[in-house]
Chains A and B, each alone.
Chain A
Amino acid sequence: MLKALINQLADPIISFPIATLAFWWMIKYYRFFGSKKFGMWALIVSIPVVAWFFADPNFYLIIKTPDNVPIGILLILVCFFTWFSLHKAAVNDERIEQGLVPIEALPENREKVWSWPNLVYTELFAIIACTAFLVIWAIIFKAPLEEPANPTWAPNPAKAPWYFLGLQEMLVYFDPWMAGVVLPGLVVAGLIAIPYIDTNPKGNGYFTFMERKWAIISFLYGWLVLWVYLIIVGVFFRGPNWTFYGPFEYWDLHKVVAEYNINLSEFIWIKGLGIGMPKNLILREIFGILLTFAYVGIIPVWVAKATKIGRKFYEDMGSIRYYIFMFLFITMMSLPIKMVLRWLFSLKYIVALPEWELNL
């Protein structure tokens, strides 16, 4: 009963909004989520829950795949360090509010210490611990090896290595040229651009949230929800034919999912205007094309003019920085927007030009 409910909730249609909402709450009440009390309770509650998940044969079937072990480790580390950095930020923010300096700036922490022994011994200890960890991991889990390569027989599902499964999951919503080339390229370019876009001089060299709210929100949303969460979906909830399966669901090859996705042009010309699709390609897709240009061209201008926060960004950053930031940000947000449009309206493509392999 409860398992059936969780199977339902795990579906991205529900779990993605939940993840986004949870993220928003975490940010809004970061002092509560970053408190020691919350961390302790989260740990106490999560242990039996994880044990209960493991006790399920279908969940165990997926998690025990040797290559999925690192994802378990990643999740534990991401949860811990997210809590830990919020905790550190909350402590420092409270100090800053009281007019004190952050912990890292206290005189005793600014004091210089010898690398030997302070630094080299820490490193030695970390190296020994890491080696022990890797050796034990290697003894317990054999490296996976399946049948010899057979180019004539494709496994179902055929999955990329786990760290790319967020990108593979994006293929549900975008064509390969976007999900596999343009968006990853923009992720890399955007990451490199961060220090040149973020002109806020505060928060350099210490944990804080308050002093650099927007930078942290944009980054963490991309990292935790759009990257890590999508990897979880791709690894644990996607079975044969990339169909959704709940964590307690058996990967039945014959699960049928009805999908009738339609394009924006079909929506407008056939359903809306009722006059059928025009022959001319550009005319046929004109609404989607205009919408796309409006999205990347008009929204940044409108945000800068009409909203308080937008005007502040524009004034702080200057026009070039501001536009690059807005372009990267709205490109990132195009993923959740496209997801929601798919779920609400079964929208397939905003611009559908399969004749040119250009689908958006």
Chain B
Amino acid sequence: MAGNGIAKKVRETQVWKSIFRHGPPDNARNRAAVIAGNVFLHLHPIKLKKSGVQLGYTWCMGGLTFFIFLALTVTGLLLMFYYRPTAEYAFNDIIALREHVPLGIMREIHRWGAHAMVITVWIHMFRVFMTGSYKPPREFNWGIGVILLVLTLLLSFTGYLLPWDQLAIWAITVGSNMAKATPFMGNGGPGAMLARIGDFVMVSDKNDVRFQLLGGRFVGEPALLRFYILHCVFIPLVVGVLIAVHFWRVRKDGGISAPL
């Protein structure tokens, strides 16, 4: 690792030493320092049980979910430079992304990545269940994981509307029609007709949960703006915070699960 000639010279420069505050990680002291001294790497423990690094045990699905989330954040940011969430421009901006942006595969990576994240998060949960890793002391973190799973689906669902094509608005129409049937809170749900005072209807299609979700009675421009903000800002922020909690608790609950 120490190398010879140029590599060694580079390591001895002031610039290199200012970035990496320790020698090459080929001995115990430096291997600890490289993990503990780097803000990203220090998410890891310095040492962990061998079963916890074996792919046959972890399937690597949780890590990949996180990586895909980061990849989606980056590609999503790039897409935001080109995309305007209005009924007038949205569809044309997507066309422009396809036809005028050189080497344009950002939207493809973003869309396929979104599907991939749904899949990896499911398989991650499958693995965690099959190894019994939700058992004490990790009950709470399993719950955080379930909420992250739901948020992943919501991220994907809100993003589905943004291309503003037939596929988008009708998929969201089908999905959001479910909200109409929410008991007591949707105007087509059970109990909604009980919520009336005389002739005054308290839960109508102008104020029920579906209306709040779409900002209207059908999937129109206000829905596009709402889904855009939910998709690009609100849900990613919540997901970011919960991922931090999730990772923190993995460490605090004793690291990746292993036989007691």
Contacts and interface: CB of A to CB of B under 8 A. Distances in A.
B132 A161 contact: no
A138 B174 contact: no
Interface stretch (A40-48, A204-212, A253-261, A281-289): A204-212
B165 A145 contact: yes
Given A105-B259, A113-B50, A148-B166, A134 B142 contact: no
A158 interface: yes
A125 to B, nearest CB: 9
A181 B113 contact: no
Contacts of B91: 148-149
Nearest to A139: B105
Given A70-B112, A89-B130, A147-B165, A356 B53 contact: no
Most buried by A among B34, B108, B177: B108
B177 A134 contact: no
B181 A205 contact: no
A122 B142 contact: no
Contacts of B46: 114-115
A177 B189 contact: yes
Q: Tell me what chain A mostly uses at the interface: helix, strand, loop, or mixed.
A: helix
A176 B192 CA distance: 14
Contacts of B169: 149-151
B10 to A, nearest CB: 20
Contact of A88 (B53, B56, B133): B56
Contacts of B98: 142, 145
Given A134-B113, A168-B174, A143 B44 contact: no
A133 to B, nearest CB: 8
Nearest to A209: B130
Contacts of A84: 56
Given A115-B47, A191-B146, A70 B166 contact: no
A205 B111 CA distance: 34
B166 A104 contact: no
Nearest to A167: B178
B109 A159 contact: no
Interface stretch (A5-13, A16-24, A195-203): A195-203
A176 B177 contact: yes
B60 interface: yes
Contact of B94 (A145, A161, A206, A353): A145
A270 to B, nearest CB: 24
A149 B132 contact: no
A39 to B, nearest CB: 14
A113 B168 contact: no
A164 interface: yes
B23 to A, nearest CB: 13
Contacts of A70: 112, 115-116, 118-119
A148 B182 CA distance: 30
B181 A180 contact: yes
A161 B135 contact: no
A160 interface: yes
A42 B200 CA distance: 63
Interface of B: 25, 28, 31-32, 34-35, 41, 44-51, 53-57, 59-60, 63-64, 67-68, 71, 87, 91, 94-95, 98, 105, 107-113, 115-116, 118-119, 122-123, 125-127, 129-136, 138-139, 142-143, 146-147, 149-150, 153, 156-157, 160, 163-171, 173-175, 177-183, 186, 188-194, 218-220, 257-260
